[in-house]
Chain A
Amino acid sequence: MLMDAEVIDKKRNPRIMKNNLMKMLFLFSTLIGLVILIVLLSTTLLDGWRYLTLDFFTNFSSSRPSRAGVKGAIIGTLWLMAFTTPIAIFLSVGTALYLEEYAPKNKFTKFVETNIANLAGVPSVVFGLLGLTIFVRQFGLGNSVLAASLTLALMIMPVIVVASQEALRTVPVAVREASIGMGASKWQTVYRIILPAAIPGIITGIILAISRAIGETAPLVVIGIPVALLATPSSPLDSFQALPMQIYNWVKMPQAEFQNLTAAGIIVLLALLMMMNLVAIVIRNKYSKRY
């Protein structure tokens, strides 16, 4: 016998102990993140929940904490997302479809793909500068909803493109062949077979990206979104307030009460986020199909 039974016996316990040790280590990593998250959320909720009054939602921003509210910021953020989302989806899903389904598989396509993936790592403040130079100044859009939406859409585009490409790649070749083999055009195959199968993955990417955009502050600072504005936008060319800017502004204030308002603002932002995620999960489950 080449396998020495004595050696195997001797090594068995250390092997199993090592496995348990590693398991504990990984559990520890998970718990650290979880505990910190719970602490953060609970302190925010404790600080802020008492300030979530009706007045808080119906008042504009103010220098007096007792009269400050998030009406302008919520409505502004909703306007911002209402334009960012469709622009981002159109650009990103279009790009992903072109790269995966239509583009010839050559070095140029590969080059474009790599660069789009790299864009995902560019700091958001750089996108802010790009927005300031091109949309705010060059196109003369000023610090409007449209300028900010275009900037944020460009910022989140790489994330959606990469997620959509991954989703498109999971659609089996066999069903593409079946459709193409019956004389369907590329677009018919994409629209009727590939997109319905890829949509859960694409939606996941979109939601991740929008969640990032909704809380993004740096590009808005660079574009010059006002922190004190006593009006809501009535067209995409109007200027607006945004929740993350409002929170950022309050947290800088010296009065202690503003810290509580900050917490309340964060709760509102989180609630918006969770609502969006809920919608996404519903859509995803509706379209979920298995192969």
Chain B
Amino acid sequence: MIMTKEKTSAIHLANKDLESSPTVTQNNEIFIAKNFNLWYGENHALKDINLSFHENEISAIIGPSGCGKSTFIKSLNRMVEMVPGVLTEGEILYRDKNILDKDMSVEELRTKVGMVFQKPNPFPKSIYDNVSYGPRIHGIKDKKTLDLIVEKSLRQAAIWDEVKDRLNDNAYGLSGGQQQRICIARTLAVEPDIVLMDEPTSALDPISTIKIEDLMQELKKEYSIIIVTHNMQQAARVSDKTAFFYQGNVIEFNDTNIIFENPHDKRTEDYVTGRFG
């Protein structure tokens, strides 16, 4: 490990007794939302959300436009607060700590909870400077360490071979799919605990999409991933668990194969079979 990441084994142990949902797995819970509500002014966007996400899993959030899935994933690193007039209620526990607490440092939270956005958003800098941005803002200055981080992150994002000879070129010269993988590398460079992905492939072509989906399977070994997707086939292909959001409510949260093959709720069935949405 190049950057020091706190080992939280004590918390892992403590988490054991919390695992009581019907979809129990042996993995530790990393995020738990408890009666989480969110308002944009008067608009009640998320209603009594109760969900738990586990380590080393890919959890997908699906649902029609405006169902609150992006709002929810942005609540997990509190990026949702960039919208003026947001009000929240309830709890979101990240490794047993309520991230909505006043004393929670958002800078610290966002270091642990990385995010990949819908559209590739590299900085207008070189590939190297893009990937080393995170470590640098957290105080890593040593050139050798930065070199190692950049290489490791680009390898993890499966783009090292494509860019290793032009690390000093502007990231804007790359294709959309490559830019998105640079953005993933940039997020991984901070060595987060969990990676949030907000429709990461919706702006990409099918081949780039497949590359990123394969990449997610690799990343799952070291990271936990929560992905919001508009694409139901994608959720079915990549995720272990799937949550179906509808009109600000979680309708159903279960193992992905159950959601797609044998959903308990009529609305989930209608949505995954393409009857609406």
Which residues of A does B touch, CB under 8 Å?
105, 172, 174-175, 177-185, 188, 192-193, 197, 289-291
A192, B137: Cβ atoms closer than 8 Å = yes
In the complex, what residues of A have CB within 8 A of residue B206's CB?
A: none
In the complex, what residues of B have CB within 8 A of residue A290's CB?
A: 124, 172
| Interface positions of B from 71 to 101, Cβ below 8 Å from A | 77, 79, 82, 84
In the complex, what residues of B have CB within 8 A of residue A105's CB?
A: 84
Q: Nearest Cβ in chain B — how far from A186, in angstroms? A: 9
B137, A188: Cβ atoms closer than 8 Å = yes
In the complex, what residues of A have CB within 8 A of residue B84's CB?
A: 105
Q: Nearest Cβ in chain A — how far from B145, in angstroms? A: 17
A178, B123: Cβ atoms closer than 8 Å = yes
| Interface positions of B from 112 to 164, Cβ below 8 Å from A | 114-115, 117, 119, 121-124, 133-134, 137-138
Which chain A residue lies CB-closest to B138? A183
Mask for B173-187, Cβ within 8 A of A = 1, else 0?
A: 000000000010011
Q: Nearest Cβ in chain A — how far from B21, in angstroms? A: 29
| Selected contact of A185 from candidates B107, B109, B121, B172, CB within 8 Å | B107
Instruction: Given the known inter-chain contacts A174-B117, A178-B117, A178-B183, please indicate yes or no for A183 contacting B124, CB distance below 8 A.
Output: no
- Tell me if B190 counts as interface (CB < 8 A to partner A): yes
Interface pairs A-B: 7 shortest CB-CB: A183-B111, A174-B121, A183-B110, A181-B115, A289-B124, A182-B134, A184-B137
**How far is B114's CA from A185's CA once the two chains are assembled, in angstroms?**
15
In the complex, what residues of A have CB within 8 A of residue B111's CB?
A: 182-183
B107, A181: Cβ atoms closer than 8 Å = no
Beyond the given pairs A290-B124, A291-B124, 9 more chain A to chain B contacts, judged by CB atoms under 8 angstroms and listed by A's residue number, are A178-B123, A179-B137, A181-B110, A182-B134, A182-B137, A182-B187, A184-B134, A192-B137, A289-B124
Q: Pick the most buried of A172, A179, A291: most chain B CB atoms within 10 A of its CB.
A: A179
Q: Nearest Cβ in chain B — how far from A170, in angstroms? A: 12
**How far is B110's CA from A172's CA once the two chains are assembled, in angstroms?**
20
Mask for B211-250, Cβ within 8 A of A = 1, else 0?
A: 0000000000000000000000000000000000000000
Instruction: Given the known inter-chain contacts A182-B110, A182-B137, please indicate yes or no for A177 contacting B82, CB distance below 8 A.
Output: yes
Q: Nearest Cβ in chain A — how far from B126, in angstroms? A: 12
- Tell me if B42 counts as interface (CB < 8 A to partner A): no
**How far is B81's CA from A177's CA once the two chains are assembled, in angstroms?**
11
B183, A180: Cβ atoms closer than 8 Å = no
- Tell me if B103 counts as interface (CB < 8 A to partner A): no
- Tell me if B17 counts as interface (CB < 8 A to partner A): no
Q: Pick the most buried of B111, B124, B186: most chain A CB atoms within 10 A of its CB.
A: B124
Q: Nearest Cβ in chain A — how far from B59, in angstroms? A: 19
A183, B117: Cβ atoms closer than 8 Å = no
